[in-house]
Structure 1
């Protein structure tokens, strides 16, 4: 298990209501069947008729309800599997989803990939590379190009066209769609 592997702590509510902490961590990496693991936790409960459960803790960025339901947990698990398969950093993906105000789910992986515009040590340096690669400065005579205000251009890009995520001293740039 890597440090980025999303996991949840599932607690038995019958035990919790009886003043007993009974539960277990479940990795959401696709190696375990969620419904089966939750059933095992409830069956091992010291309380009879343990049927209800809740997520009392989780380890991944983003938000999660105490009562998320297995559909939500399966969606997170599926997203993690897709992120791993695509070679995307899970932490960055979670930050991307949080920035966009969306739940973590598999459908966001494609949106992430489409929105990703590149990485640089700052947004201003990304803008310089972007303008050079797209040829947008070619209409400006060479001797006047050093007067171009890249900082102002970067600020304007961030206002309407892109957003950034800072990660490990790098600036990851994403298109606003």
Structure 2
């Protein structure tokens, strides 16, 4: 899994008609506002919009918690969702999404941020540190005889 904290989310938006004709026409754009990208912007370096070009599609992503094709509108929704998460938690959100065991909200694959925040337990340097803290938080340390605690 790629880390996303240091990456400004961007998407490669291409023309589906050109793609279906065997031409790869598109550009990288910021994911924020991807829903507002026009056919003219996508075709800027390809000699202009041709007849039959009607639909744009995100064919690649960089810096989003998911890596799959989608509509520009959906890419904009993912970018907006990511902007709502503190930067230091973005990799954790990406890991939650990558696990496939996240709770989607609304009409798509967007994860529920309240559920993410409820499930986010923190960050530890090692698994041993996590286990020790969990052990104490659950109250097992108080019940354990002192000679067994180490």
**TM-score computed with the length of structure 2 as normaliser:** 0.71
Name the counterpart of 2:25: 22
Q: Which has the higher contact order (CA 8 A, sep 6+)?
A: 2
The 1:88/1:79 distance shift into structure 2, 3 A limit, reads farther
Per residue, is there more helix in 1 or in 2? 1
Name the counterpart of 1:62: 66
Q: Is the 8 A contact 2:12 2:58 kept in 1?
A: yes
Counterpart among 99, 117, 121 of residue 125 in structure 2: 121
Note the C-alpha offset of 1:19: 4.1
Runs of at least 5 residues in structure 2 that lack an aligned partner in the other structure = none
Name the counterpart of 1:97: 97
Encode CA deviations 1:80-121: one digit per residue, 9 max, x unaligned.
1112xx33443332121111344662x432222211112222
Aligned residues: 137
Note the C-alpha offset of 1:42: 5.3
Q: Deviation above 4 Å: which 4+ runs of structure 1?
A: none
Per residue, is there more strand in 1 or in 2? 1
Name the counterpart of 1:74: 76
**Mapped pair 1:5 → 2:3:** no
Runs of at least 5 residues in structure 1 that lack an aligned partner in the other structure = 147-177
Counterpart among 118, 133, 139 of residue 135 in structure 1: 139
Matches of 1:18 and 1:62, distance apart in 2: 27
**Mapped pair 1:51 → 2:54:** yes
Q: Is the 8 A contact 2:16 2:55 kept in 1?
A: yes
Matches of 2:146 and 2:99, distance apart in 1: 38
Name the SS of the counterpart of 1:10 in structure 2.
strand
The 1:16/1:122 distance shift into structure 2, 3 A limit, reads same
Name the Cα RMSD after superposition. Answer: 2.7
Q: Is the 8 A contact 1:10 1:53 kept in 2?
A: yes
Note the C-alpha offset of 1:70: 4.2
Name the SS of the counterpart of 1:54 in structure 2.
strand
